[in-house]
Every structure is written in C-alpha cells, then in structure tokens.
Amino acid sequence: MRKDYKGFTLVELMLSLVVFLIIAIAFFDLYISVLHSSIVAQRQAVALSLANNQMEYLKSLPYNDLAVAGGSIVSTFTIPASFNQTVDAHTYTVKTQIVYVDDAYDGCGTYPNLTLEQTYCRNYPPPSNAPNPDTNPEDYKDVRVTVTDNSGLTLASLDTQIASLVAETPSNTGAIFVRVIDQSGNPIQGASVNIVNNVVSPNVNVNATTDANGMAIFYGLPPDSGYDYVVSGSDSGYSSLTTIPSTSSLVATYPNQDLLAQNSSYVTLTLKQEGTYSLVFQTTDTSGNPIPGVKVYVKGGYKKYTSTSDTSYYYDSQVSNNSITTDSNGMNSLTNLVPGTYIFCGDLGSTGCGSGSTIYYLAAAVPYTGNNSFNPVAVPTYSSANPPATTFLYNNNYYLQQVRLILTTNPSFPRIFTLSPSSASISSNNMSKFAFSITGYNLPCTSSGNNCTTVNFIQGSNTYAASCKGSSAATTLNCTVNISTATTGNLVLQIIANGYTFNLPASPLLGGLIVTQ
C-alpha cells in the first residue's frame, strides 16, 4: 500500500526563510534600538549628575566670582568655561555660561533705543513706580550648565538665576550693545564678539556670541571717556572686523567706543560673506605681454574713515609690509580678502608698483567680472549655498575675481581710471547720442573740445568715434557717441593721446563698453 508524504516545496521554503529573516531583522533592530536607548539613558543620567554637581559648585561661590573665563562679565576671578570629565571610560564635556540680566521689576537700564529695551529688559514693561532708568541694570546672573558627549550631543542642561545678597545700590558701570549684521542688513546669529580695553583697571577682555537678533550685550563695564573700548566681530564664512580710533579730523567708519557711568554705548559691525580664494592678478605691458617680478601695491576692503577724500583702508599691503610680487608669468594672488573694492598701484596708479629701480605706471586695471570696467576692482561676496557662476583657475584653486594690471614705464602714456557708465542698453533710446565720461591721466582736451584726446569704440569692423570735451588738468573727458548700430557684446575702448594708441582689452575682460539687450 502506497503512502502519501507531504513536505515543503522549494518556493515555500524560500518564502518561509524570507518571512523569518524579516521578523528576525525587525527584532534585531528593536533590540539595537532598546540597547541604544538604554545606553543613552545611562549617559544622560551621568550627565545630569555632572550638571548638578557643577551647578551646586557655582552656587557655593561668592556672587562676584560667578564669571567664566572668556565670557561677557568683567571679573578678577573666573572659572573655566568648560572642562572634561571621564566616567566609565566615557568623556563628558561640562560647559558653563553666565551672563548678567536686566529685569524690569526695578526698572530698565539705559538702552540705545526703545526696541532694544523692550527686547532685552526682561519682563518688560517695568512697574509704574520703578526707577527710570535703573542705575544698576545688572540685577542678577543667568547661569546655564550643559553637558555634551564627544559628538557634541547635549545630554543634560540646567538653568538657574542667582542674585546678590546685598541690596541694590547705584552702579558706576555701563553697558555696550553690539549688533552684528551681514552686508544685506540681516542679523548674524552665533557670531563671536570681543571687547578689549587695556586702559581701564582692571583691563577688560570679554567675549560673547550674538543671539537671533545679532545682538551681544556686555553689562558691568568700567566707564571710559577716551574711546578705548575696542570691539571685534567674527564668524565662520564671514570677514572679521575690529573698530579703530577716530582722529582729530577723521571719523572712523567703525569707531572705538567710549562709555559713561550708568549709560550705554551701541555699535553695529557689518560682516561680509567671503571666500578663501579672493583675487588673482597679472601684470602686463600695454601690448598684453606678461611682466614678471613686479611688486604690486594693493589696498581696499573696509574703508577706515567716513571722509570721501580719505582713501585709507583696513587692508593695505604697504602698511602691513606685505610684499606681493608677480611670478615668472606676471601673476600672483590674494586670499581671504574682505568683499569690496580694491585699488592697485596707489590712488593715481603712479606709486607702489615697480621692479627694483623701475617704476611702473598703471595704465589701467581691467577686471574679468563685475559691474565696473576699471579701478577700483570689486572682490565679490561668496556664499557656499549660492556659489558664483564664474571663477578663475590659478594654481589649482578657483578665485572669485581676476584682474589684468596694464603697466607702462612711460609717464606720458594715457592712463584710464574709470569709464562711466560702462554699459549701454539697446532697448534704451539714447544709443544715438550715448553720453559717458572717462577719468584718468594724460588725457589732454580743452573745454571746447579742441586738440582733444581721440576716443573710439570698436566692434568688429565698425569704429564709433566719440566727441569729447575735457579740462586743462587732462584728467577728465566728457563725451557722446553714436552707437545705434552696435550689437550686444563688448566694444573695445581705444584711446589715442600724446602720440600713443591704447586699446583696452575686452571680452572676456571688461575694459570696453558692454552693450546689452
């Protein structure tokens, strides 16, 4: 008699294995998750214990000693801002932050404006019977202790407020409010702010980071009427900026601060997004041949003083003794420049560029990109989120701007400083009588236009001759030209003066006139 034997087919067996593996993986993931949660919970418990220990230690200190090293509170005694502690082979970082708080319960201190008072005087508005202003706005201290692991993950955080045991008395200190913004006027959160005063006793050297409003506030600073408070701001990916003293005749763009007792001072620092590789330049003669070994004078970036007649800048290669000499191809580069305009070979292009005893005059500085055809040359801002469409390769790095410095040893050769405007639109109705001006040197012309420098624009086989009038100083030409038949693209600027012809390079350089649609 035959018996029927039943079993699994190969397909059924494979499906069973797949189901088993799915269940096993799910249980394994659950096990790992539970295990990880258990480990995190254990470490959080250790971190909380460390935070409690640090907080109890802080509470045991005298009130005046509650200040961290490198923090925003001036004190002769400071505690470390952070320290590491190892428990069960795991390292924890304990961080302490202590700041003054102005509370409206006894009135608000002196603020630069009402908006800041409403934002930073806690529990605003003050009671009707509160002093106005509060002569001691450092009402109590806000203390925060955080504990992180090696990856920077916050495992525990504790906050408390600690007040002095003595009754409030009028203070002989003041406050400095620092706002940090970008070039568009937006607040920069997390920027580092440093304030130094080496004149007062004890010396002041305090630090803070800006909040969501771009503000950093420093209370309890000793008064100083000599404008000796130096304020600095910096942030990753941005330029750094430090205030400087004004002079008897010049007002600093970003001036050092003074501070009167029971008063406040306010300063705004504008930081600009910058790239590491800023500017590459090449020195050539008027025919475009590279000139090696030229020492180039460069200045620009932040302007030191508000006066339009003063051209002192934060970056100045002569002041800093930074020797910038072109290589065998007539090239060199500059890194970490503050976005802004830069001037080459001095204000008139006649100083600072040379090779040994040879003096070079700057016939023109012609950039490859930007909104300006000549000197000063713009170094653009840089954002990694929105990188520039055009960059310039030099020594395996991509730079934000490139410029050709056209040099001559002939003091009579025509030199061009500016062309304004440097572009024309076909859609406008002024192409038949396009007006422009040129500034420079060695550009002879009379006010009536007699014996004048020849100015032409060249596009392909077409030459457009301009009609100009000038000045006895030979530095300015005011001209008109009919370019109604020109097409979009670059028009080469040609200057003929003193027996010399100077064709300004165009496309891809910007030395000519750009015609747009």
For residue range 208-251, list pLDDT tens digits in order. 999 999 999 999 999 999 999 999 999 999 999 999 999 999 99
186 and 232 within one domain = yes
- Out of 162, 197, 214, a domain closes at 162
In contact, 481 and 467? CB cutoff 8 Å: yes
Q: How far apart are CA 374 and CA 14, in angstroms?
A: 76
DSSP letter string over 364-406? EEEESSSS-SSSSEEEPP--TTS--S--EEETTEEESEEEEEE
266 and 212, same structural domain? yes
Residues 74 and 134 in one domain: yes
Say whether pLDDT at 289 is over 90: yes
10 domain-assigned:
no
Same domain, 292 and 402: yes
Q: Do residues 425 and 492 share a domain?
A: yes
- Tally the residues of the chain: 517
Whole-angstrom distance, CA of residue 431 vs CA of residue 434: 5
Say if residue 449 is in the same domain as residue 473: yes
**Residues 360-382: what's their mean pLDDT?**
91
In this prediction, residue 172 carries a pLDDT of: 85
Q: What's the pLDDT tens digit per position in 168-223?
A: 666 788 999 999 999 999 999 999 999 999 999 889 999 999 999 999 999 999 99
> Which helix (H) or strand (E) element contains residue 115?
helix 114-120
User: Of 434, 375, 423, 362, nearest to 401 (Cα)?
Assistant: 375
Query: Does residue 83 lie within any of the structural domains?
Result: yes
Per the domain annotation, does 330 fall within a domain?
yes
Report d(CA 480, CA 452) in Å as an integer: 13
Does 282 share its domain with 263? no
In this model, does residue 424 exceed pLDDT 70? Answer: yes
**Calpha distance 376→172 (Å, rounded):** 48
> What is residue 64's three-state secondary structure?
helix
The two three-digit tokens of residue 223, written as one number: 């008064």
Instruction: Count up the domains in the chain and report the number.
Output: 4
367 vs 371, more confident: 367
pLDDT of 299 above 90:
yes
Do 66 and 94 belong to one domain?
Answer: yes
| pLDDT > 80? residue 24 | no
Q: Whole-angstrom Cα distance, residue 234 to residue 188?
A: 10
> 282 and 266 share a domain?
no
Residue 303 structural domain: 277-408
In a domain, 47, yes or no: no
The pLDDT value recorded for residue 246 is 96
Among 349, 378, 408, give the residue marking a domain's end: 408
The CATH number covering residue 240 comes to 2.60.40.1120
Same domain assignment for residues 329 and 266: no
Asked if residue 404 and residue 430 are part of one domain, the reply reads: no
The enclosing domain of 487 has a CATH number of 2.60.40.10
The pLDDT tens digits for 129-161 are 888 888 889 999 999 999 999 888 999 999 999
Q: Which of 108, 134, 162 is the last residue of a domain?
A: 162
Token pair belonging to 126: 């003050």
Cβ atoms of 250 and 310 within 8 Å: the answer is: yes
pTM: 0.83
